[in-house]
Amino acid sequence: MSLKIISALFLTICGFNAICQNDSIIEFGNFKIPKQLEQQSKIWLNDLYNPIVITKGDTIRYTKEAVMVLTNKKYYNIIYPNDYTWEITTELMKNKWVKQSIWYMINLYMANKKINSPYILNTIISLDRVIDMEKVLINSYYSYIAFDPQVVEIENEKVKKIIRPDIAEHKLVVTEEIVAYLRDYRKSNLKN
């Protein structure tokens, strides 16, 4: 997918809040997109596709967001509420917090697949037309499972120990199930 299409999506999601200068415009069909918006789109997309905890060999590196999850109680409570709800999921999506919204959807799917899966799968498929939702799903899981209070115990802003690896495994299975559905949907639409 071209960055110009992503920029147009970003413009649609964000609204037109960027400053437009005559010499910083990119033509996209009948639309004119500020170059500044294209740069913001790159940053936004990079965030969607990259985890907040990065491991290489024996080294673990935390991004700014990972540090914020560990140090900002208010943000932590947004990511890990007592109950995952559709109201908050929708608000997160409205505020361009797509990765966090997908984390909520993973948890909602796990909580009640029968009721929640049609809404989740329709949302994932709709977004997949413009964003690689397979990457976002996998990234959301790996980003937020690292500090999930159902899975790990955190003490002094550090993961002390893994307490429920079975829950982490179950959430991974749920994520993989959604990804498998998305892949099947993509295949069936290629044939049509």
Instruction: State whether 113 and 40 are in the same domain.
Output: no
Judging by DSSP bridges, how do beta strands 53-56 and 31-34 pair with one another?
unpaired
Instruction: State whether 34 and 78 are in the same domain.
Output: no
Instruction: State whether 116 and 33 are in the same domain.
Output: no
pLDDT at 15: 45
Instruction: Give pLDDT tens digits for 76-87.
Output: 999 999 999 999
CB atoms within 10 A of CB 76: 17
- 39: Cα separation from own chain's centroid: 19
| Residue 164 placed within a domain | yes
Cα–Cα distance measured from residue 169 to residue 164, given in angstroms and rounded to the nearest whole number: 9
Residue 56 φ/ψ, nearest 5 degrees: -140, 110
| Residue 55 placed within a domain | no
pLDDT at 23: 42
pLDDT at 6: 44
| Residue 56 placed within a domain | no
Q: Is the per-residue pLDDT at 4 higher than 50?
A: no
Instruction: State whether 129 and 152 are in the same domain.
Output: yes
**Structural domain total, the chain:** 2
Instruction: State whether 33 and 76 are in the same domain.
Output: no
Handedness of CA 107, 141, 91, 182 (dihedral sign): negative
Instruction: State whether 36 and 127 are in the same domain.
Output: no
pLDDT at 30: 52
Structure tokens given for 45: 């997309």
Instruction: State whether 187 and 115 are in the same domain.
Output: yes
Structure-model confidence comparison of residues 60 and 6, the more confident one: 60
Instruction: State whether 38 and 74 are in the same domain.
Output: no
| Residue 54 placed within a domain | no
Range of the domain at 143: 61-191
Structure-model confidence comparison of residues 49 and 111, the more confident one: 111
